Every structure is written in C-alpha cells, then in structure tokens.
Amino acid sequence: MSMLLEVSGVSVSFDGFRAINNLSINFAPAELRAIIGPNGAGKTTFMDIVTGKTKPDEGHVIWGDKNISLLGMSESQIAREGIGRKFQKPTVFEDQTVRQNLAMALKNPRGPFAVLTHKKTAKNGARIEAIADEIGLLDSLTRPAGELSHGQKQWLEIGMLLAQDPRLLLVDEPAAGMTVEEREKTTDILRRAAETRAVVVVEHDMEFVRRLNCKVTVLHEGSVLAEGNLDHVTSNQQVIDVYLGRSHA
C-alpha cells in the first residue's frame, strides 16, 4: 500500500539543539496512530514540520498519491492539501452555537470543488447534523459553544476539522483536562474518524492510548525509539528506561 505521508531523514535544530534527529516515520491513508514519548522528545515539533510551521534543516516530507513534497509549501497550502491540526487548547467561537461553528467550518472548504459550494447550501444542514452526531453533539446544536464542557469544546473543534474533510488529522494531547467519560468518548470519536482518514494522536495518558487500540510510535530525542502495538512498545527496555520508568506528567 502506498503511504499517505512519508517523513524520511528529517532533522531540525534550534540554536544548535537537535530537536528532530534523522526522523523517519510513515502513515497509511486510513490509519490511527498514537505517538508517545517523554517531554521534549520532539512530538509537537514533528507536527510543526508536517504542517509547515517549522521547516526542517534536512530530510524529506512526501505527501499523497502524487508524492509531492510539503517542504516548499506554506502552512495554508498544506492545510488545503488536506492536513488538519488540532491544538491542545480548543479554539471554538464561544458566542456562536454549535451549529454555527460547524457551518463556518463547512464554508471554508478545501479542494478543487470549493467554488461550487454555494450550490450545496441545502446539503450543509444534513452534513452539519452528521458531523454533530459523529462528535456526540447532536443534542447541543442550538447551544452556544461557550456553554459546553471542556471536553465538548474539544469535540466541537474536532468536528470543525472533520468538516474540512482532512485526509490527515493531527491531534496534540486531546485527553488533557478531560473527565474519564470524556476521554472514553474521545477515543471513540478518533477511532471512527480514522476509518476514512489518517489520524495521528500525541498523548501521554496510557489508558487513552490503550483504548485507541492502534499502532504506537515512541519518539525519543527526535527519532523513533520503538514502534508496534502498545504491549510491544511498553515491554521494550529502552522505552521503559527513557519514558515509562519516569514521571512524565
């Protein structure tokens, strides 16, 4: 199977410190992947590189069926290619309802048919409801986003990203600040989203990662230390030494 995203030999230094060190990591078109590793391992910097926020000093970042390089592209070009990113802090419009937030996200479509969307207004209602259902907010469509719980705001933001129909969704530490029930619901949302696209989740919470039930990549000092299912990587002695054996909260 050809890969959706191929990162190979990527390095980036900040003031002489190699935050990413000859990193190679690949993602298939529809897969769920967890990335774990100690603080400072380069997890967020990896996402910065894929989204074009940080340009690597060396290496390749190859995207899609046409094997195009993302390195020459701006952040907005990369977003239009279908790479969505969810940051830790939710950035929904608090004064707007859930429906309005989702409608706004639908109005800025990416892709070649964007100009035709004014003809699609009737379809938008159904699409908004389908997304709201997917993120568990169908009963909250008329509520202002500001009234939602922290977890619900996170789901709304995931929904706003799904409205853009990304082929790759990058999610940085979604479980932080969530209740146990919200965490469980979030794993369900991410697993479902990954049925039709690649979803890459950075997360420290091991229970959360276990529930994701997917391939895990362990980053350490800017490279891949181990990769495989969670039991495989957590029984790796190096992973225990650099990550699991320490407090990393």
Ligand X SMILES: Nc1ncnc2c1ncn2[C@@H]1O[C@H](COP(=O)(O)OP(=O)(O)O)[C@@H](O)[C@H]1O
Tell which one of 8, 24, 39, 67 touches ligand X (CB under 6 A). 39
Q: Which stretch binds Mg ion (CB under 5 A): 8-16, 35-43, 92-100, 138-146?
A: 35-43
Tell which one of 8, 9, 14, 94 touches ligand X (CB under 6 A). 14
Residue with tokens 């940051």: 87
Q: Within 13 Å, how many C-alpha atoms sit on residue 240's CB side?
A: 6
Neighbour-count burial of 22, counting CB atoms closer than 10 A to its CB (0-12 exposed, 13-18 middle, 19+ buried): middle
| Rg of the chain on CA atoms, in Å | 18
- Cite the beta strand spans of the chain per DSSP E: 5-14, 17-27, 32-36, 58-63, 68-69, 83-86, 168-172, 198-202, 215-220, 223-228
Angle, in degrees to the nearest 10, between helices 121-134 and 98-107 = 120
Among 81, 95, 89, 80, smallest CA distance to 171 is for 89
Of 17 and 113, the one with the shorter C-beta distance to ligand X is 17
The least distance separating ligand X from the CB of residue 79, rounded to whole angstroms, comes to: 20
Note whether 41 binds ligand X by CB under 6 A.
yes
Note whether 19 binds ligand X by CB under 6 A.
yes
Note whether 13 binds ligand X by CB under 6 A.
no
Note whether 45 binds Mg ion by CB under 5 A.
no
Note whether 51 binds Mg ion by CB under 5 A.
no
Of 19 and 169, the one with the shorter C-beta distance to ligand X is 19
Note whether 44 binds Mg ion by CB under 5 A.
yes
Of 44 and 234, the one with the shorter C-beta distance to Mg ion is 44
Of 43 and 197, the one with the shorter C-beta distance to Mg ion is 43
Residue 169 in tokens: 């969704």
Note whether 166 binds ligand X by CB under 6 A.
no
User: Which parts of this chain interact with ligand X (CB under 6 A)?
Assistant: 14, 19, 37, 39-45
